[in-house]
Amino acid sequence: ASMIWIIGEYAERIDNADELLESFLESFPEEPALVQLQLLTATVKLFLKKPTEGPQQMIQ
């Protein structure tokens, strides 16, 4: 969950933040609730910081 937080918090500085989050989303249903919540939070942060990049595709 800590790595996911870092990706969401510094998404504007990480070039491939969307790809990194997407790799975590593949196992979303099997993850503990804490990790799921952090993934949702990081995805929203990524969308707010980089609205023209990947989060729309991840959500679908």
Q: What is the mean pLDDT of residues 20-49?
A: 92
Q: Residue 32 in 3-state DSSP?
A: coil
How confident is the model at residue 25, as a pLDDT? 87
pLDDT exceeds cutoff 80 at 7: yes
Output the furthest CA–CA distance in the chain (Å, rounded): 29
pLDDT in tens, 25-39: 889 999 999 999 999
pTM (2 d.p.) = 0.78
pLDDT of residue 51: 75
Q: Which residues contact 23 (CB under 8 A, 6 or more apart)?
A: none
User: 13 falls in which pLDDT band (50, 70, 90)?
Assistant: very high
